[in-house]
Structure 1
Amino acid sequence: MSVVPDAPAALAGRPLFEPIAGLLARFPTAIPDAAALDALLRHFAPDAVCGAGRPIHFVPPPPHADGYEAHIDATGEVPTRPGDWHDFFNALAWCVWPRTKSACNALHLREIARRRAVGEPGRGPLRDALTQFDECGIVVAASDPELLALLAGHHWEAALWTHRARLVDTTRFLVFGHGSWDSLRAPFFGLCAKALYRVVDADWLAQPADLRQRDCDAWLARRLLDEPFGKSSLHPLPLLGIPGVTPASEAADYYRDTRQFRPRPICPPRA
């Protein structure tokens, strides 16, 4: 069957879609319905559960629900709009990041309960950070800590151009945020993700991609559940600077445009 140009399978070979490339390739004509997404989840992540341990399945958005995360926690139902790219990518994220998606849901509900118990209004910074990471998170795993330090320090030209060959050999960029995948269908100037950095060894890099993905899912779930997390944990990463994402990045000058590759903010000294 030929691939329709605007079908999911048309994205399977693009950079940064690697975690879901095999899933995208299964749909050469159109976004699948909820039943097909349920079947996909049962095949690739049969143990996927919400934070409360209920099996995940995809349903049309209910007319009334007590908050998105609370509804998932209470029912296992993930509201999924028919034919919607954003929700389609969210379903695929559940297929390849099931432990982390479950951990995010559990953390949302834990924070909701905590804030309610002490009378704090609103969502709070933890839930905002979780939502931001759920939408545009990425794990950058590398066996070269120096490169991760350069990225974290906003030394974009050094990390992404000067040491480009080292970066390609030692670093993997694994998108978690379903909003980022949606945006990458038509990348725009300044498109940015929020990164968590992970040091790995050469043996990890040598593993097949599916094993690296499962291991990174387990690592990320533990990272969220067992260590402090917030907006300060996340590092901005201009996605169009990653080698291969856009032909424009094949020149050093590209990384000198501070509209997109901003220097790290200098914090004023404390009084």
Structure 2
Amino acid sequence: MKRFTPPEEFQPSCLQSGAFEHLRTLFNIHEQKNWPLPSWFSPHLNAINANNLAISFVDDAKIDFAERYYEQVIFETGQVPTRTENWHDLFGGFIWCLFPKTKALINQRHVADIAVHGTKQRTKHRNALTLFDECGVVLAISNTQWQQWLRDHQWKTAFVEHRAQWGKTIKPFMFGHANYEMLTKPYIGLTGKALFVTVPDEIFCKDLVTQYQYLDQRLYEMIKTDQCLADNKLLSPLPLLGVPGWHEDNTDDTFYNNTDYFREKRRIRT
């Protein structure tokens, strides 16, 4: 007999860290008393997929997959299968609202790749698309020095010495909905994948909605034209709990002494 597992209680108290600040500001998610239904996203959603169909969120149980892959359903119908009372799919909905052009492009790229290679053989491109979709963090930077520091794992330089510059010359924007899900129960070791996007200084002075619109367009161009997700080479490990404001313990500089979490970069012998 299959054991019944009751749904997880909706607990907005777990959304209080700085990692969820954008969702609190733009969607008031912390004020929700119950799990939002899939239709809850409709007023916040303005996404058209690459098949020219309006995106909508539909209860996963009501969708006839007909042996189609998840991404194929979205492309062919515009419907995003959404499990109710599920953190992963709830956060996935927010990303569709915030990055509609990029999400539609990623969906189209999956479908095009499947048409050539099928669902069983995953190419480097699809692996990179999936990794970014689940674990990506967009790091908007106006000083390219940030990219060197973080890609070289100079954690204390980036997180401690230049902490005051976060929000001024660098700002994180979550893309991976799996990151959000795991941050509801944060643990040492939690790591995302950073993609650096160079932006003009004035972007940091814009309102949050404008910032997301700008980044959505830039990501769309970087993926479509620059092929930045042809593979995962441009995705860099980012210890999520080290991002200033994303974990209460990182206000203490000694937090970054944990080299099991804030690891040195591996040196490749030649």
Interval containing the TM-score (normalised by the shorter chain)? 0.7 to 0.9
Which residue number in structure 2 is paired with residue 20 of structure 1? 23
Report the counterpart of residue 181 of structure 1 in structure 2. 180
Match of 2:241 in 1: 240
Misfit runs of 4+, over 3 Å:
5-8, 10-13, 24-27
2:109 to 107, 110, 133: 107
What CA deviation, in whole Å up to 9, does each residue of 1:220-243 have, x standing for no partner? 111111122221120110010011
> Please, what TM-score do these two structures have when normalized by structure 1?
0.87
User: Would the aligned equivalents of 1:51 and 1:102 in 2 still touch at CA under 8 Å?
Assistant: yes
Aligned to 1:67: 69
Secondary structure at the residue paired with 2:209? Answer: helix
Structure 2 gaps, min length 5: 1-8
For 1:151, the equivalent position in structure 2 comes to 150
Contact 1:34–1:59 under 8 Å retained in 2: yes
Matches within 5 A, 1:26-37: 28-37=32-41
Cα 1:60/1:139, change in 2 over 3 Å: same
Cα deviation, residue 33, structure 1: 1.1
SS of equivalent residue, structure 1 residue 139: strand
Decide whether the 8 Å contact of 1:138 with 1:196 is kept in 2. Answer: yes
Change (3 A) 1:168 1:91: closer
Quote the Cα distance in structure 2 between the aligned partners of 1:60 and 1:123. 27
Inter-partner Cα distance in structure 2 for 1:24 and 1:107: 32
Matched, 1:263 2:267: no
SS in structure 2 of the partner of residue 231 of structure 1:
coil
The CA deviation string for residues 28-81 of structure 1, in whole angstroms up to 9 with x for no partner, is 2112112222x2xxx3332x0223221111112235341011111111111101
The alignment of Structure 1 onto Structure 2 pairs a total of residues equal to 256
Identity %: 30
User: For structure 1, which segment, 49-58 or 246-255, has the greater mean C-alpha deviation from structure 2 after superposition?
Assistant: 246-255
Offset of residue 252 of structure 1: 2.9
What SS is found at the alignment partner of 2:266?
coil
Structure 1 distance, partners of 2:172, 2:197, is: 10
Cα distance in 2 for partners of 1:25, 1:64 equals 30
What aligned pairs does 1:21-170 form with structure 2 within 5 A after superposition?
21=24, 22-25=26-29, 28-37=32-41, 39=42, 43-46=43-46, 48-61=47-60, 62=63, 64-65=65-66, 66-116=68-118, 122-170=121-169
For residue 237 of structure 2, give the secondary structure of its aligned residue in structure 1: strand
Whole-Å separation in 2 of the counterparts to 1:211 and 1:168: 15
The CA distance in 2 between the partners of 1:24 and 1:89, in whole Å, is 13
**Shift of residue 26, structure 1, vs aligned partner:** 7.5
Deviation at 1:115, TM superposition (A): 2.3
2:209, 2:31 → 1: CA distance? 19
CA distance in 2, matches of 1:202, 1:252: 27
Change (3 A) 1:45 1:6: closer
Distance in 2, matches of 1:27 and 1:248, equals 25
- 1:107: Cα distance to partner? 0.9
- Do the aligned partners of 1:31 and 1:85 also contact (CA within 8 Å) in 2? no
Q: 1:170-209 residue pairs with structure 2 within 5 A?
A: 170-209=169-208
RMSD of aligned Cα (Å)? 2.1
